[in-house]
Structures are given as structure tokens and as C-alpha cells.
Amino acid sequence: MTDTTKKILYGAGIFIVIVVFLWGAWALVGSGGNTSSKPVVIPIDQTDHITGNPKSNITFVEFSDFQCPACKAYVLLAKQLNEKYKSKVRFVYKHFPLPIHNVSQPAALAAIAASKQGKFWEMHDLLFDKQEKWSVESDPKKFFVNYAKQLKLDIKQFEKDMESKESKTKMENDLTLGNQIGVNATPSFYINGKKIQAPQTLDEFSKIIDRELKTTQ
């Protein structure tokens, strides 16, 4: 398969997935986002990828998959949320590589390996930004190593951490947790354990977060 054919198939796949995802999101939320009434317990510990205010009593959790086109479509919105609420909300990323994505687990392991050198969010951004390139490969490790070089990581340590039992355990623990609380698609968002019904805009997310902030004051 030529590179051009791969790009055409990838582009068509992204278009179909995003259209289906956004249609489903619209059907779920109607004119605005809502949250589930019954919260679930989502443990947060030192292995998690956290940004925003780590001491906040408002925790926003995203279960995501680096090979998922719909997850990529939400990256900018997630950044806007973090910028708007970085002093008020603790934002947490958890790995949920879907079985339909054949190289999503290696991508998750690359991000976890980068996190061990303090570069999770930088690798997160590269993986989503370059998704079109590495996600069509059967073995994308060379791409991940190249991204690690761009981030000036210790490459030997990065490769070792990608293969380590500790990194795999982190990914598997996130997957297990997601399955236990009923995550069945990516991205899935929770605020203080309550599932957000796929809002599509910054305004819809903001209304939910503002409502939660008021209830915890």
C-alpha cells in the first residue's frame, strides 16, 4: 500500500468517525451537555497525568485513545478548558486504548514512557498532532522514538520505559478502571465522578464545570 493510499484511507476514516461521533454526541446532549446523576469512584494517584490545579476539589477526567480521530478532534477544546480553569480544576488524562485501534497501546506506552522524564503532555500533543502518520503503520515505534528525540529525552531510557512492566501496568490499570465504571467509547469525560454526556463546545463544558464549582463552594 502506497503512502498516498494510506493517507486517503486514513482521511476517509477520520471523516466517517468524526461525523458519526458528532452525530451521536448531538443525539445525546441535544441543546446542551448534562452529567449522569450517580457519580462513580475514579481513583487518582501519583502515576496519573495531571495538569491544572492538583489541589482542586474539582476533578475533570478524560479517558482517551491516541489513535482515536474523535479524541484528536477534542484536543483543542480540552486545551481551552485547561487554560480557562487551570487555577480551579484538576485535569487528569487516563489511557483507554480501544481494541479496534491496532497501535493505540504502543502509543499509550510511548506517552507513559515520556511522562517518566516529565514530558507526558508534550508527547501527548505530538501523538495527536502526528496521528495521521504513525497510526497507519503496523509498527510505529520508530515514529515514537523520533518524537522522543524531538523532546530531547534520554532515548535508551525512553525505549526501556516503553517496554517496562511498570508502564504496561499503568496502561492496564487505566483500562481496567474504565471498563469497571462503564467507559465504552473515547473520549469519555467525567467531572467529580459524574459522566459528562459528550458536550460539543467550550460553552457547554464551561456550564457543567461552573455548575460543579458552585456546588462545591
Domains of the chain and any CATH numbers: 3-215 (3.40.30.10)
Q: Give the model confidence (pLDDT) of 18-67 as tens digits.
A: 444 443 443 333 334 577 668 999 999 999 999 999 999 999 999 999 99
Residue 166 to residue 15: CA distance in whole angstroms: 36
Whether 191 contacts 209, CB under 8 Å: yes
Cβ neighbours of residue 57 closer than 8 Å, sequence gap 6 or more: 216
**CA dihedral for 27, 32, 33, 37, sign (positive or negative):** negative
What average pLDDT score do residues 76-80 get? 96
The torsion defined by the Cα of 147, 149, 154 and 156, in degrees rounded to 10, comes to 80
What average pLDDT score do residues 158-163 get? 98
Among the listed ranges 22-31, 132-141, 167-176, 205-214, which one has the minimum average pLDDT value?
22-31
Nearest to 158 by CA among 97, 109, 93: 109
Position 197 scores a pLDDT of 85
Position 24 scores a pLDDT of 43
Asked if the model's pLDDT at residue 1 lies above 70, the reply is: no
pTM comes to 0.84
Asked if the model's pLDDT at residue 84 lies above 60, the reply is: yes
